[in-house]
Amino acid sequence: MILARHAETGRPVEIEVEDGKIAAVRETARDPGDVWVAPGLIDLQVNGFAGVDYNSPEVTAEEMGRSVEAMRATGVTRFLPTVITGSRERMCGALRKLAAAREALPEIAGFHVEGPFISPDDGPRGAHPREHVRPPDREEFLRMQEAAGGGICLLTLSPEWPGAAKLIEFVAAQGVVVSIGHTGAGGEQIREAIRAGATMSTHLGNGCHGVLPRHPNYIWEQLAADELCAGLIVDGIHLPPSFVKCAVRAKGLEKSFLVTDATSPADCAPGRYWLGGIEVELTPESRVQIVGTRTLAGSALRMDRGVENLVRFAGLTLVEALRMATVNPARAMGWRDREGFLRVGDAAELVRFRWEDGRLACC
């Protein structure tokens, strides 16, 4: 039995759990003090955490377990390890290791493959290595899916490539969510991708050219597309608060969700780390960048800090911010067992926390 204040209503509740599901949510006269309860946080884009690089074919089950335990302490109960652009051997090797680790880690809901079918251009390509960017290839996707044990459930690609729409149709028909990202695509290419089955934008506002036309451009096109939900990295580094506020207003609360795009330096001290064979550094200012450059290489953001930032940057209530970190990503992925906010019958993935002076502390 879990006693806490319901994060949506503020009322004390007792939550009964049976067989991994929420069996009952009852209001109570018992006083839980200042302890609140909400659905566990969901992160759809995690390249690494607590010093562990999920893109390494050498990652061990022990390292993954340690990393997931550290992530759980930030309120995350479900996430997608994310494999970025690399050689065929490295990407498949990493997916095999992640698939093996998944058997013992229920927090891993599947895998997000971000690349290699992205823009080859500086800016949109971000930190992805140019030499490994390649055009959409159905057979390569199937090889990656085989390496992942069928666990790939989210694919990020750029629709600027000839043949991208055909791959989107094929992948979406397999039940995999397709997201537009790291792209220099034009408006018609984006609309063609949506018609083919793309339903998401990957870290909207990032993985872009440094300078864009006022209009049209691929940020506006994705903001205006009602069919697309959008992930946002709300660390104050990738996006300024004004963009976060405007993006949430444009997409609407139900179509926006929080991601961290965390890499191995997340939850670690400043220093040098690895991301898929690329050496990166975490600066004292919390930037993760390729060593010797200012190119961002993921983030050091934790989901609990991201929730706090949503409240501060976008003027959201705590409940609205929590929904962007729980219900909304579940809806974007079609995970029906997490589409409710403490709904009876949903998976009993819960987080208890305290909220004081704009800080969220899991307990």
CA distance 217 to 154: 24
Assign 9 to helix, strand or coil: coil
Instruction: Please give the Cα distance from 209 to 158 (Å, whole number).
Output: 14
Distance in angstroms (rounded) separating the CA atoms of residues 163 and 150:
23
The span from the CA of 310 to the CA of 16, in Å, is 30
* The token pair that represents 90 in the structure block: 């490295």
Report DSSP state, residue 117: S
- Of 43, 53, 235, 261, the active-site residue reads 261
The structure tokens listed for 290 are 């390729």
261 is catalytic: yes
CB 260 within 8 A of CB 306: yes
Instruction: Count the residues in the chain.
Output: 363
> How many whole angstroms from its chain centre is CA 20?
24
Is residue 14 within 8 Å of residue 26, measured between CB atoms?
Answer: yes
Query: What DSSP designation does 40 have?
Result: P
The Cα 42–Cα 306 span in angstroms is: 12
**DSSP-assigned states of every residue in 237-297:** SSS-HHHHHHHHHHH-GGGEEEE--B-TTTTS-SEEEEETTEEEEE-TTS-EEETTS--B-
Q: Which residues are catalytic?
A: 261
